[in-house]
Chain A
Amino acid sequence: MLIDVNAYLGWWPFGLVAEPTARQLVRVLAASGIDRAAVSHLGAVFAPEPMTANRRLFTACRRERSLAPVPIVNPLLADWREQLAECAAAGVRAVRLVPNYHNYRLKSRRLDPFMAATEAAGLRVVLSARLEDERHRYFALRIKPVAAAEIGAFLARFPRHHVLCTALTLNEVVELAPAHANFSADLSYAEHMAFADQLRGKVALARLMFGSLAPMISARAQAAKLAATSFTPAERRQIGERNARAFFRL
């Protein structure tokens, strides 16, 4: 069983693959050995208000039970309480923040009531550090990734929240881990021939999860990441399944 905590529906305008239907995404993931996925909708990254795309996400996930919706919300919009309320009513377990695409900083004071409200609603927070490699992305995009230092300050400010940070690089995970126990990280951007050895001892395995960034990134290739490592089969199960189950209460 492999659970992907970083997958998407919707159209990624800077890539080469067509927008998949939910059924197609499930097929691609299944063909790659991925049984379940926490999915966000890319339409909510780019739209001025995210809920239209999130509603499409809810509908799609109701049809495909292996997809768990993680709506993308924008806490800087005046309707953030309504966004959260609608997400909670849809039965989601977590919401995703994309601060660099929604044009706010994690130090914004507006996040204080937002984070309190997620806690009150029993919602987990997933934070996207990046959605693509800034070194070679399309020239029209000038969005910087969320800096590790900014994420560190955010984690320190909200110590009662355990945040899942997706698409951190290996160095960023290792940099943040000693000072901040209240985050988990997916492995979508963490890659090195010996990355298991580099993480072992620095980050508790209970804080690592599998993420693919599919369909923008090849799910089959990402799924191979855990296989050829020094992680034991039990550790792979923990990273590939159990930690995600616990975080998303799947």
Chain B
Amino acid sequence: MRVIDVHTHPVMFKAGLKPAEVRWLVAHGRSLGITRMVGLGDVLLHGRNFTAEQIVEVNDDSARVQRLAPDYFRFFCFLNPRLGERAVMREVERCVERHGFIGLKLEICNNARDACMRPVMQAARRWRLPVLQHSWSQTNLRQRSFHTDPADTALLARRHPDVAIIMAHLTGCGVRGVLEARGLPNLYVDTSGGLPEAGLVEFAVEHLGAERVLHGSDLPFRSAGVAIERIKGAKLTPAQQRMILHDNAARLLNLG
């Protein structure tokens, strides 16, 4: 079964940039059946409040990896919404038009409910890009001033129904995250992050439909093989598994 992993960090803390490292990752992914990886950038390299120069550095590193294996990697443009409209628009334009990036990635610079998200969503609309928002339940973490809870990601999707949004980290969002995502057809959930909790993928499919669940691993923090077997081991039909592992991402991200 072909697999598209929509949540990877091929470069993390500057590791993964060397051609040999890129070749190894491509071979590793292919050995697991992963035909394409969506890279999201070195998003923790400078903490949580990146300057414009640091954002450019991360995206240029991503572009370097994409150039080394263009048939395998496609990257999302990493952004710090707090830098303002001009910086956001400039970076999106640069990454889309120069590097061919295919989405926007948001981490923990701010909460997705913040007003500074408006230019990001304008950019998503203008360039027809999906937005992948790091999301994690804040019930226990209590970092909501900058860390997005699944309820915040759902609010973002509600405010911008014409933009495809991916709520990252199914395990971190949990049951509550899945329930928040109900009734929002522009909101997808990716299965990355955390231990492969039994029953959660099935719960997401039951409440959202298999067409709104995307396979992701969050490598290198997580094992790509473990993430795939989580889907293959779930009580789903082969058609549902195929949608999650490949077809949904292929359609949403135009990755044939």
Contacts and interface: CB of A to CB of B under 8 A. Distances in A.
Interface residues of B, number: 37
Nearest to A220: B233
A133 B194 contact: yes
A168 B228 CA distance: 23
Contacts of A189: 195
Interface in B101-127: none
Contacts of A188: 195
A224 interface: yes
Contact of A218 (B219, B220, B230): B230
Given A32-B233, A225-B226, A193 B219 contact: yes
Interface in A215-230: 215-225, 227-228
Interface string B212-246: 00000001111111111110111000000000000
B223 A218 contact: no
A147 to B, nearest CB: 17
Contact of B198 (A139, A194, A218, A224): A218
A214 interface: yes
A32 to B, nearest CB: 7
Contact of A228 (B32, B197, B200): B32
Contacts of B68: none
A137 B226 contact: no
A192 B193 CA distance: 11
A15 B199 contact: yes
A136 B137 contact: yes
Nearest to A229: B223
A214 B127 CA distance: 44
Nearest to B137: A136
Given A192-B221, A221-B226, A136 B198 contact: no
B140 interface: yes
A113 to B, nearest CB: 36
Contacts of B31: 228
Contacts of A191: 195, 221-223, 226
A136 B232 contact: no
Contact of B136 (A135, A137, A194, A225): A135
Interface of B: 28, 31-32, 136-137, 139-141, 171-175, 194-200, 202-203, 219-230, 232-234
23 contacts: A15-B197, A15-B198, A16-B202, A135-B141, A136-B137, A136-B139, A136-B141, A136-B194, A139-B139, A188-B195, A213-B195, A216-B197, A216-B198, A217-B195, A218-B197, A218-B198, A218-B233, A218-B234, A221-B226, A224-B223, A224-B225, A224-B228, A228-B223
